[in-house]
Amino acid sequence: MNILFICHRFPYPPVGGAKVRAFHMIRHLSEQGHSVTVCSLARSEDEVKEGKGIAPFCDGFDMVVVKSPVQVLRMVSSLFTPGSASEAYFYSSDLQRRIDRLLEEKSWDLIIVHCSSVARYVEDVSHIPKLLDYCDMDSQKWLEYVRYRPFPVSAGYWLEGRKILNTEKRIARKFDLGTVATVAEQRTLDSFDTGVLSDWFPNGVDTDFFFPSKDEYDENIISFIGRMDYYPNEECMRTFCQNTLPLLQAERSKLQLFIVGAEPSAGVRKLGDLPGVTVTGSVPDVRPFVWRSALTVAPLNIARGTQNKILEAMAMGVPVVTSSIAAGGVDAERDVHFLVADTPSEYVSAILRILSSPGERQRLSHAGRDRVLARHTWSRAMERLDDVIGRCVTRFNQCQR
């Protein structure tokens, strides 16, 4: 098949959840013999240069460079329209023209759109089967932010969340099938009652890259991994350091917390002033920090879809203690493959359970790795994608009769 693949962030290099998912979809489809053309945006010439590395994984690609000040102005202007700021931020009239030209110049068998914020580029195309991969239902994340932000900022999040929700519902009706990353997200999509087919396929892990280390871990180190300019990560680390870490250090005075991730905000950097807390900022490779840790924590209070940080730690054989909301995006069982907590006392109990028992740590290490190999490899995820594409094309053909 000739497949036009449109995504909101250029998927190479595959760093970050959305980019990783899109890249593995593109690579898999190309390996299956399909001809894939990728269209997306870049924010700088450096990003364009890096993005050209995708060439071996597709038949063609088209990048349009946009300037942040222009996109921010688009976002501001969206306040006076029914459209969301997210749609405005990822829209480029230049990219629209290039996509329109591609649609005219070539015969396409399928269009795949990754992320609802760029669905508008092809929403009115009706002669080609179309699959929309929401990945996560972004509206729910924005609406959840309202609980954690003071007024009037909370009002802005509520408005954007409602606009994205309206977009998700409207766009769904213009595609033949919509997909997400988890069963829970599929339930949310189905609750929109659009009458359009839905399905899901999980995020995977490169288990050859994220593998267990034979080196010794430090029983007094725990870590959190994630971009630290991302609000859910910032919020959970502030809360964890305020409410849980002092309780842990009262039990284990030598305990250290490493917060590992790019672009830490001023508030996150300040956490590095706390006893036993290290904020690393960007690092060339997160794996050495994970391998050295007795466990990783993912105490997220705001989470949608699959948290790759959980899967990657499990793949490396490092136990995870996570919140129940973050655990919902992983195909694994609590107390079997990872531990789940929601209150400071529950986190303390779960973390000390691992720190005080090398046998328990080893059990979770093996169980977590085995679960990822069984349920969350990219090959397994892409098998589901193949089935989804088959359903999408069949639905389109049925509707054309």
Is the previous residue joined to 56 through a cis bond, with omega within 30 degrees of 0? no
How distant, in Å, are the alpha carbons of 50, 81, 84, 193, 335 from that of 90? 19, 16, 10, 26, 41
Per-residue pLDDT of the chain (401 residues), as tens digits, is 999 999 999 999 987 767 899 999 999 999 999 999 999 999 888 889 999 999 999 999 999 988 877 777 777 788 778 888 889 899 999 999 999 999 999 999 999 999 999 999 999 999 999 999 999 899 998 899 898 888 888 998 899 999 999 999 999 999 999 999 988 899 999 999 988 899 999 999 999 999 999 999 999 999 999 989 889 999 999 999 999 999 999 999 999 999 999 999 999 999 999 999 999 999 999 999 999 999 999 999 998 878 889 999 999 999 999 999 999 889 899 999 999 999 999 999 999 999 999 999 999 999 999 999 999 999 999 999 999 999 999 999 988 87
State the CATH architecture for 218-375: 3-Layer(aba) Sandwich (3.40)
At 12 the pLDDT is 93
At 398 the pLDDT is 86
At 306 the pLDDT is 83
CA 262-268-270 angle, 5° bins = 130
DSSP 198-242: EEE----B-TTTS---SSPPEEEEEEEES-TTSHHHHHHHHHHHH
CB 202 within 8 A of CB 235: no
CB 176 within 8 A of CB 396: yes
Q: How many angstroms separate the CA atoms of 305 and 110, rounded?
A: 25
Phi, psi of 357 (to 5 degrees): -140, 100
Indicate left, alpha or beta for 159 from its phi (over 0: left) and psi (-120 to 50: alpha): alpha
At 149 the pLDDT is 83
CATH number of the 2-204+378-400 domain: 3.40.50.2000
At 98 the pLDDT is 96
At 43 the pLDDT is 85
Question: 2-204+378-400 and 218-375: same fold?
Answer: yes
Q: 375: which 2 tokens?
A: 């349920």
How distant, in Å, are the alpha carbons of 269, 330, 332, 375 from that of 324? 27, 10, 12, 19
Domain boundaries defined on the chain: 2-204+378-400, 218-375
CB 367 within 8 A of CB 315: no
CB atoms within 10 A of CB 79: 13
DSSP annotation of 93 reads: H
Q: How many angstroms separate the CA atoms of 264 and 282, rounded?
A: 8
Q: How far is CA 112 from the centre of its chain?
A: 18
Q: How many angstroms separate the CA atoms of 274 and 105, rounded?
A: 59
CB 218 within 8 A of CB 278: no
CB 336 within 8 A of CB 366: no
Q: How many angstroms separate the CA atoms of 277 and 272, rounded?
A: 5
CB 98 within 8 A of CB 81: no
Q: 6: which 2 tokens?
A: 């449109």
At 305 the pLDDT is 79
Claim: this prediction has a pTM higher than 0.85:
yes
At 342 the pLDDT is 96
